[in-house]
């Protein structure tokens, strides 16, 4: 039974980190006149209302996208800010794009997209806003195994679990190894939380050993509430696009202050 709902956390500091890197990679990859495949194992509902009761209950977006906007942390022409402006123009000032809508902003005719979301209500909401790509109401790890290597071969996969299933920490390194063997040219981006109890640490160490060339961008931030276990956000990227290291360093500065 899945209980995680991203609406409580949409636009928070972790989303800012993850979505800024994701938008930058999609902007870079779609700048070339060659088609690509986009795959998401854990898509969420795609569109969030930061004015909703759920989002206001935690107030997490305040320390994320709203603070970044007030501080001018990302230039207006940063890929994430362009995707945000596009979503607000379509859905109103309180709208915030999940990763599927960020990808929708960048993907072109001829690109292909595969989005998995297992939660029935989240899947239904996603179906209401998703573009032309394929949607799956099935386990995202299974979906990724089934569609890789994708056509076209060039592309990006985002793995963004809620880590509600604690076994994810143990199984994800093997999953990424399996996908990278089948799809050795794919960019594989895994998001993980940085937790006070360091639950993510073994997974990240195993990933480092298995993919010594991968890029890791990790940032720290204050917990959303006193005693809250998440104190940072990490992105582990196999086959990072050219220039991602420099972009990650720019984004990390936002969190350093």
Ligand X SMILES: C[S@@+](CC[C@H](N)C(=O)[O-])C[C@H]1O[C@@H](n2cnc3c(N)ncnc32)[C@H](O)[C@@H]1O
Q: Inter-axis angle of helices 99-106 and 13-31, to 10 degrees?
A: 20
- Toward ligand X, which CB reaches closer, 11 or 240? 11
- Toward ligand X, which CB reaches closer, 6 or 78? 6
Identify the DSSP state of 146.
Answer: H
Beta bridge partners of 116: 136
Q: How far is 84 from 101, CA to CA, in rounded Å? A: 9
Q: How far is the CB of 135 from ligand X (least distance, A)?
A: 11
Q: Which stretch binds ligand X (CB under 6 A): 2-10, 69-77, 197-205, 230-238?
A: 2-10
Binder of ligand X out of 11, 133, 140, 173 (CB under 6 A): 140
Q: How far is the CB of 112 from ligand X (least distance, A)?
A: 18
Binder of ligand X out of 17, 78, 114, 119 (CB under 6 A): 119
Q: Judge whether 33 counts as a catalytic residue.
A: no
Query: What mask of x and - would describe binding to ligand X in positions 53 to 92, judged by CB under 6 A?
Result: ----------------------------------------
Binder of ligand X out of 16, 65, 107, 116 (CB under 6 A): 116
Q: How far is 232 from 193, CA to CA, in rounded Å? A: 6
- Toward ligand X, which CB reaches closer, 128 or 242? 128
Query: For the chain, how long is the longest CA-to-CA vector?
Result: 48
Of 235, 216, 256, 246, nearest to 28 by C-alpha is: 246
Q: How far is the CB of 41 from ligand X (least distance, A)?
A: 6
Give me the residue whose beta carbon is nearest to ligand X.
Answer: 98
3-state secondary structure (DSSP) of residue 156? strand
**Phi/psi at 187 (5° precision):** -85, 120
**Phi/psi at 234 (5° precision):** -130, 145
Of 179, 189, 196, nearest to 231 by C-alpha is: 196
Tokens of 199: 């639950």
- Toward ligand X, which CB reaches closer, 98 or 186? 98
Q: Looking at 15, 27, 111, 160, which residue is catalytic?
A: 160
Q: Which stretch binds ligand X (CB under 6 A): 41-49, 61-69, 174-182, 223-231?
A: 41-49
**By the rule CB under 6 A, 162 interacts with ligand X:** yes
Residue 92: how many CB atoms within 10 A of its CB? 11
Q: Which stretch binds ligand X (CB under 6 A): 54-62, 117-125, 205-213, 217-225?
A: 117-125
Of 233, 246, 242, nearest to 204 by C-alpha is: 233
Q: How far is 82 from 75, CA to CA, in rounded Å? A: 9
Q: How far is the CB of 33 from ligand X (least distance, A)?
A: 27
Q: Annotated active-site positions, please?
A: 160
Residues that bind ligand X (CB under 6 A): 2, 4, 6, 42-44, 98-99, 116-119, 122, 139-140, 160, 162
């Amino acid at each position: 039974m899945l209980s995680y709902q991203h609406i409580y956390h949409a636009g928070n500091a972790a989303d800012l980190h993850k979505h800024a890197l994701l938008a930058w990679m999609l902007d870079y990859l779609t700048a070339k006149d060659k088609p690509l495949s986009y795959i998401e194992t854990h898509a969420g509902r795609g569109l969030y209302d930061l004015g909703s009761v759920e989002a206001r209950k935690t107030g997490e977006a305040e320390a994320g996208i709203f603070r970044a906007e007030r501080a001018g942390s990302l230039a207006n022409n940063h890929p994430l800010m362009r995707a945000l402006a596009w979503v607000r123009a379509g859905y109103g000032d309180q709208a915030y794009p999940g990763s599927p809508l960020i990808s929708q902003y960048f993907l072109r005719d001829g690109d292909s997209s595969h989005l998995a979301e297992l939660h029935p209500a989240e899947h239904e909401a996603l179906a209401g806003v998703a573009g032309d790509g394929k949607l799956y109401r099935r386990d995202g790890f299974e979906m990724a195994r089934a569609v890789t290597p994708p056509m076209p071969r060039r592309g990006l996969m985002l793995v963004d679990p809620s880590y509600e299933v604690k076994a994810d920490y143990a199984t994800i390194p093997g999953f990424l190894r399996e996908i990278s063997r089948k799809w050795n040219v794919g960019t594989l981006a895994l998001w993980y939380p940085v937790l006070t109890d360091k639950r993510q640490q073994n997974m990240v160490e195993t990933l480092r050993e298995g993919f010594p060339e991968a890029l890791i961008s990790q940032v720290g931030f204050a917990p959303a509430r006193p005693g809250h276990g998440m104190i940072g956000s990490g992105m582990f990227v196999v086959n990072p696009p050219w220039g991602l290291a420099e972009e990650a360093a720019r984004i990390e500065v936002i969190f350093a202050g």
